[in-house]
């Protein structure tokens, strides 16, 4: 039988020539406009395929990927394209006092490692070079690629955001946790996507998060039982004791204290550095902000009011005839109670849980941290840091803004 004719192969059209222009030098007004004006006036038409510009301490690095296009005929070949662009580059270099390099980019495009992208935020005061080097080595070690780096802030902490592709989230967090432990820098990981900038509600723990110290320890000091209560508090925050049980034990030693002691302690509260900036910035960005505490409403309600917060939840000390009874009234806000409060407030404002943020330091915060779309362990116990989505060990609460992807300029723009 005659063989069927082989299908005729269609000729493969060669890919249009491409070239990369790299402009470096002192940044000054008009460099970008002059370059693109030159590209617009080339003898044969070209198209802009990609652009990236970075200014580091007044030094400009501008990269432009350009491709040849057909204009009623065959597009420019590679050498013709390069010659045309070098002519443009010489004119821009002379006019603007910069350096312009032109090289072929006609080979296969390198898009870095495949896979979902993640943001890696490196924070410190200062950020040691070994932290950035270690992060880069860790990313490469698990097959990832750094696609971009930008600075988020220079005050109160320095922070850089690395956009990483080709690395699985768990492996990335594990590798970077080792770098953070050895260099002392904070390194957070978040998935790239709209969800990161769609957060709309934040819940803050109070003791050792929003304010410095523990209110229960201050009250116990006035009852002459400071050391005893401090031991119980430490065990509870480290997850060694059931929180509800430890809370009742600590509150019991307050029996007989005059109610006025609560006012004294509240007046001496010291906010964590950066707390007002964090709250003010997020409020101006449209966040609902509130506190969920294992402490006491007699302290937290006035605090929430003074900060203009949207909601607050805490335990309530029982007071009879102007003195503390050593008991509590109402529902206990313990570890699961904190998570329930987060869910309740999110439902109240119609905000999905994946658009919420929770910040805390103790074991009783863990359910809340893991229920939120993003849980941040702030200066937390090791037990908590290991289980939260990410951790911050800086003394400034507004470093949370950089984890959320906000730059220092955006924070300043939120200030009236």
CA dist 299 → 4, 120, 326 (Å)? 88, 37, 16
Please choose, from the candidates 173, 198, 189, the residue with its C-alpha nearest in 3D space to the C-alpha of residue 354. Answer: 198
Catalytic annotation, pick one of 205, 365, 367, 398: 205
C-beta atoms surrounding 281 within 10 Å: 23
Residue 213: which region, alpha, beta or left (left: phi > 0; alpha: psi -120 to 50)?
left
| Rounded-to-integer distance, Cα 148 and Cα 120, Å | 10
Catalytic-residue membership of 205: yes
E-state strands within 192-235? 201-204
Which helix (DSSP H) or strand (DSSP E) does residue 136 occupy? helix 129-141
| Rounded-to-integer distance, Cα 358 and Cα 252, Å | 29
Catalytic-residue membership of 207: yes
CA dist 326 → 175, 242, 343, 388 (Å)? 47, 18, 29, 33
Kindly write down the DSSP assignment for every residue of 285-327, as one continuous string: TT-EEEEEEEEEHHHHHHHHHHHT-SEEEEEEEEEETTEEEEE
Catalytic annotation, pick one of 83, 154, 207, 310: 207
C-beta atoms surrounding 413 within 10 Å: 12
**Structure token pair of residue 58:** 């007044």
Question: Mind telling me the catalytic residues?
Answer: 205, 207
């Amino acid at each position: 039988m005659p063989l069927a004719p082989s299908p005729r192969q269609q000729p493969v059209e060669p890919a249009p020539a491409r070239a990369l222009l790299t402009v470096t030098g002192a940044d000054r007004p008009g460099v970008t406009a002059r370059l693109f004006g030159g590209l617009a006036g080339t003898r044969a038409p070209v198209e802009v395929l990609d652009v990236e510009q970075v200014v580091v301490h007044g030094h400009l690095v501008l990269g432009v990927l350009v491709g040849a296009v057909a204009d009623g005929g065959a597009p420019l070949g590679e050498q013709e394209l390069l010659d045309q662009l070098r002519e443009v580059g010489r004119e821009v270099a002379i006019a603007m006092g910069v350096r312009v390099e032109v090289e072929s980019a006609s080979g296969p495009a390198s898009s870095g490692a495949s896979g979902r992208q993640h943001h890696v935020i490196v924070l410190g005061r200062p950020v040691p070079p070994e932290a950035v080097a270690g992060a880069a080595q860790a990313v490469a070690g698990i097959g990832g690629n750094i696609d971009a780096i930008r600075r988020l802030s220079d005050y109160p902490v320095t922070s850089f955001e690395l956009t990483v592709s080709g690395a699985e989230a768990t492996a990335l967090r594990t590798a970077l946790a080792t770098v953070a432990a050895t260099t002392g820098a904070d390194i957070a990981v978040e998935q790239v996507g709209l969800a990161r900038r769609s957060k709309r509600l934040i819940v803050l723990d109070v003791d050792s998060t929003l304010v410095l110290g523990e209110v229960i320890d201050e009250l116990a000091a006035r009852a002459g039982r400071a050391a005893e209560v401090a031991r119980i508090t430490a065990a509870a925050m480290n997850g060694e004791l059931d929180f509800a049980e430890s809370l009742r034990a600590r509150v019991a030693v307050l029996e007989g204290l005059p109610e006025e002691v609560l006012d004294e302690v509240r007046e001496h509260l010291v906010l964590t550095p950066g707390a007002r900036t964090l709250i003010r910035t997020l409020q101006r960005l449209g966040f609902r902000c509130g506190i969920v505490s294992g402490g006491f409403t007699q302290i937290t309600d006035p605090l929430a009011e003074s900060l203009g917060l949207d909601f607050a939840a805490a335990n309530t000390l029982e007071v009879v005839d102007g003195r503390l009874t050593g008991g509590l009234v109402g529902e206990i806000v313990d570890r699961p109670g904190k998570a329930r409060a987060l869910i309740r407030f999110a439902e109240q404002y119609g905000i999905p849980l994946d658009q919420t943020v929770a910040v805390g330091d103790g074991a009783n915060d863990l359910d809340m941290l893991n229920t939120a779309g993003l849980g941040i362990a702030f200066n937390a116990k090791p037990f908590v840091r290991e289980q939260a989505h990410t951790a911050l060990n800086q003394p400034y609460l507004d470093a949370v803004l950089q984890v959320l992807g906000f730059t220092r300029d955006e924070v300043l723009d939120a200030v009236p």
